[in-house]
Amino acid sequence: MDVFAHGLWSYAILRKSKAPGLVIVTGMLPDLIPFIPYFIHICIKGIKLKFGPPPLESIPNYVFTAYNLTHSLVIITLIFGLIFILTREIPLFLWAWPIHIAMDILTHAKAFFPTKFLYPLSEFHINGINWGARWFMIINYGSLLLIYFVILYPVPTQKALTVKSGMNANKIPEGYIPNATPVKAWYGVYWKFKRS
């Protein structure tokens, strides 16, 4: 999956973490670590980039090695083990890393950076979906759009409705719509369903 979608998914899944900024960065790091030196190289050379996967033949070997290391469940298990031994805990934001790997196992085809999640023990990988395919991009970003709408405009529970408005839960006037903008959109839906 592309690095921006990884950042967005990481936040959507682990937003309850105490460090949401770190969640986004950690979710993108497995791709940033191998590709940042490559992008610096591209910028210096003045090569133009298109949206989507870059051509494989233009990518230097060190990118592949670094990519295999950052996309290995073996390596991340060792790192997690070390962190746990040293600190007796695994901070929630760090889970964005294995989540990234899990998503890439399914969304990388053999032809473009297949996720060798057992590297360096094994080269085994799954021939997954090509994340650059138009249909997948539409489904992926469409799902993210929907999820972020619900995150930004959460469906209010009966309790949230009354606590916010200071009303008695049993005495909300039929069709009541409050002024609190973030939840306003849902009230129309709420009353529509209640009536039907």
Quote the least distance from Cβ 31 to Zn ion, whole Å.
4
CB of 105 to Zn ion, least distance (A): 10
CA distance 73 to 101: 7
104 belongs to the binding site for Zn ion (CB under 5 A) = yes
Q: Which stretch binds Zn ion (CB under 5 A): 34-42, 58-66, 102-110, 137-145?
A: 102-110
Cα 157 from Cα 146, distance rounded (Å) = 19
- Minimum distance from CB of 82 to Zn ion (Å)? 22
DSSP string across 153-196: SPPPPHHHHHHHHT--GGGPPTT---S-HHHHHHHHHHHHHHH-
Q: Please pick, from the candidates 31, 73, 99, 140, the single residue that binds Zn ion as defined by CB under 5 A.
A: 31
Q: Which is nearer to Zn ion, 23 or 31 (CB)?
A: 31
Choose between 7 and 30: whose C-beta lies nearer to Zn ion: 30
Pick from 105, 192, 124, 119: nearest CA to 155? 192
Q: Is 2 in the site for Zn ion (CB under 5 A)?
A: no
Report d(CA 87, CA 105) in Å as an integer: 29
List of residues contacting Zn ion (CB under 5 A): 30-31, 104
